[in-house]
Structures are given as structure tokens and as C-alpha cells.
Structure 1
Amino acid sequence: MGRNKIIKKYIQNKVVLDVGFLGENKKVEFSSLHNFIIKNSKEVWGLDIDKDRINKLKEKGYNVIYDDVQELKNLMKLNKKFDVIIAGELIEHLENPGVFLDNISGFLNENGILVLTTPNMFSLRYILRHALFGQESPYWVDRNAEIKYGHVIGFSKMLLDNLLLRKGFEILEFKYTIKDEYGGFKGNLEKFISSFFPRFAPSLIVVCRVRK
């Protein structure tokens, strides 16, 4: 099942915070996921660490916040809570994902939910990359950029489940999934294989809330 189809049922008529919403492509205003959230929710806020891009979006009237996701000092000043917080393809970039989960939970409404997506380290994609290239991604040519922007941690279903439960979350839904924007021969092949063997899908998505 595509990622957006899962997310859509949780964000309709909701106030949503999209954490890490800018995405890696600086040629577009923000990620395709954020655009999808805008179209399908009641109110949307975006939070990211690229100050220049954030300021440009503020000038255009978008609800955006400049902040470090492991500190969230500026989000605290907003004095606002959310029905849904989404962190798409973010947690694998963080040095301290547990600190992020501790901090972000305080910005959820009483019955608010957290939606996380992250690469599946046991996907067919990563198994082949490891077998053929000896690393998660063979595409980095600038080692310094990889250190600064690349992944520093990886998750399987069990490991992400363990982290969330340890941090006091209750799992509502956990799926193997794939980004809707994947296309071309490789993307369509992954979608085809994932439809028969879900555990080989490239991404994990988990929906959870703070355990009462």
C-alpha cells in the first residue's frame, strides 16, 4: 500500500505538523509529502532546519517554523499542539532519535497521533546495495556531504517498534510501504515486488500515540 493512502485517513480535517518537510530537492518549495498533507488536512505547519528556505516560505504566507528537531525551542514558543505530527524519512538522519521522540510527544493533543516513515533496512533495495556495494547507498560522491546529510541510523520493523515502546508510545498501525512518487522502471519494479512480498518494501510506516 502506498504511503499517502495510509497517511490520508489520519490527517483529514486535522491540524498537522510536518517535521522535516522541506525534503532534499531544493529546486521545489517543499517535499511532495508536504504538498499532499496541505491538500488533505485542515491546517498544516511545517518545521525544518534550513533557515533561508523557511524565511522564503514565510514571506509567501506558509505556516513554517525554523527549528532543530532535537531541540524544538522555536516550536515551544509557538505554544500550539497538534492532532497529528508527521515525520517522513527523518528519524534515520538524527543522532538522538530517542530525544526527538521524548520532545515531540509534548506537542501532541491528548488523543494526538505521531506518524513516522523511515527506510526499511531489510528491504530488497538495501539488501542488494549491501551485497553489491558494501554500503547502504552507492550514490554519494562527496563523503563530507554524506556525513552531514546522510543517514546515521537504520531501522527494521522490530527495532523501530522497540524504540517507540521504550519511549512510551502505543502502536496503532505498522505497515511496510513505498513512496507514491517512486516511478520509472526501478520504482515500478519495487512496487510490483512489494505487492507480493511486503517485507521487501523500501519503507516502514508506523502510526502511534502516547500510551495512557
Structure 2
Amino acid sequence: MSKSYYLYGKEKTFGETKSFIEDYFRINILNNPKNRYNKTLKYIPSKSYVLDYGCGWGILSKMLTDKGCRVDGIDLDKHSIDIAKDIIKENEFLKFENIPITNIPDEKYDYVISTEVIEHTHNPGNYLMECNRVLKKNGFLVLSLPNIINLRFFAAQLLNFNKKFTNYFRNFEYDKTHHHIQAWDPLTFMRLLASVGFEYTAHEFIQGMALPKGKYIHLGIPRIKNLSYIMIFKVQKKKFTMIGPGD
């Protein structure tokens, strides 16, 4: 029996999965320099040892090895790691594992990257603490996440939000992969980063205003660009701060 793969919860064959991943890369990344993967890539120098924390299908991990980095990709979703191993494929400089970050020893990596993962976590402080722990002294964390101060958020408040809110949550079923349960503005998120031992290096707003079906209107005016849907932070490890269970 041939192996099955799962994309967005739907069972697929190897051929279907490979075709989807190739099309996704070509349309959303290769032909889109403003994509978050391309934006993240520029913050990581070649020859770095990188942990891709929440690597998903492994596309960004592969892009980093193509740049000359050594990369370990980890993800708690076994289906994603199956795709990464069988479609993207491991090599001497690229490994994928279905393990938690707590399995990784202290101070192992030059860089940790995290692309739109932290907003899905129940304990973001612990998430960042673990990123800090596995970084070498003066290592860097580069992560992207949604910016709550975005035009789509404000538009939702004006378009009969109360009725939609009530209807949405009457029969709500939580999906860890797709539902955001955390949200930050840039200032508050940087404060969170600082609280666990990171120091600011750089940030950027990308992808513009989010539209339905994964489309975006790119915002070119600097002050308006600050209302873009995605923000990227690059921060440096300055100390390790332990977070207790009740913190």
C-alpha cells in the first residue's frame, strides 16, 4: 500500500503532495520576493547553524541550506515532517524531526527561526524561553507573526462584528494548526521578547493588508506600512531568563 500524506487535513498521494508543494513554492515564494520566507531569509547569514522551530513542510529550511546554512527542522505535526522528509528530503546539512524543542540541548544554534507559529501557542513566554535556551551565547532569534494593529482588524470592527462574533463562537471547534490564540502589537511583543532575555536588533512590516483567499494589498507608504498584517523581529540573546509555571 502506498503512503498517504495530509495537506490541510485532506489525504493525498505522494504525487499530489509533491505537485502541491512545487506549485506552492513557485507561486507563493519563488515569484513573490515580498513573501515572509524571502524576507526571513535575508536576516540569516550563510554558514549559520539554524533551528527552524515549527518547520512545517520544510520549505524555508531547504531555502536556508541552499544559502549555505546547516539546518535542523522540528515540528510537532507528524504529517508535516513526513512531507518534509519525503518531498523536500534530508541531506548532510538538512535534518527533520518530529520532536519537541525540549529534546534539544542548551546553546546549540547560531540562529532560531520561527515563522508564524507563536500565535498558535498557549504559553508564548515558555515558547520564547525555549528559543533562548537552545541559542548559543549572543545567538539570534528571527520570527514572524501577525500584527494585531492591521487594517483588516479595524475593518472587522466596523462590519457588524458583534453578530459575526456571536455566530462564530456558538459552535466553535478549536484547530491548533489554523486558529490564532495570541495577538500582539509591535511594542507589546518586543516587551515580551525583552522579558525573556532578548535585545532588539531589527524589525520589519511585510505583506500589506490581508484579503480573503491568501491575497494581500502591499502598502508602500512608510507610516501605512506599519499597519501590515505580518511583522518580523530579529533579536539577540543577551541572557537566559527562566519562566516559572505561574509566571
Normalising by structure 2, we get a TM-score of 0.66
Matched, 1:15 2:49: yes
- Counting only pairs closer than 5 Å after superposition, residues 124-203 of structure 1 correspond to structure 2 as 124-132=151-159, 134=161, 143-146=172-175, 149-178=178-207, 186-187=215-216, 190-192=217-219, 197-203=224-230
Displacement, 1:35? 4.1
Matched, 1:54 2:54: no
Change (3 A) 1:201 1:32: farther
SS class of match (2:138): strand
Change (3 A) 1:64 1:185: closer
Displacement, 1:84? 1.0
Task: Tell me what 1:25 maps to.
Answer: none
2:130 alignment partner AA: N
Change (3 A) 1:7 1:126: farther
Normalising by structure 1, we get a TM-score of 0.75
Change (3 A) 1:63 1:6: closer
2: distance between equivalents of 1:17 and 1:145?
28
Matched, 1:63 2:95: yes
Change (3 A) 1:67 1:185: closer
1: distance between equivalents of 2:176 and 2:134?
30
Task: Tell me what 1:73 maps to.
Answer: 102
Displacement, 1:106? 1.5
Maintained 8 Å contact 1:66/1:74: no
Change (3 A) 1:102 1:146: same
1:17 alignment partner AA: L
Task: Tell me what 2:110 maps to.
Answer: 83
Displacement, 1:186? 4.2
2: distance between equivalents of 1:178 and 1:101?
24
Displacement, 1:126? 2.1
SS class of match (2:113): strand
Of the two structures, which has the highest relative contact order with CA contacts closer than 8 Å and spacing of 6 or more?
1
Task: Tell me what 2:8 maps to.
Answer: none
2: distance between equivalents of 1:166 and 1:5?
25
SS class of match (1:205): strand
| Structure 1 unaligned blocks of 5 or more | 23-29
% same residue: 25
Maintained 8 Å contact 1:82/1:108: yes
Change (3 A) 1:104 1:118: same
Q: How many residues align?
A: 193
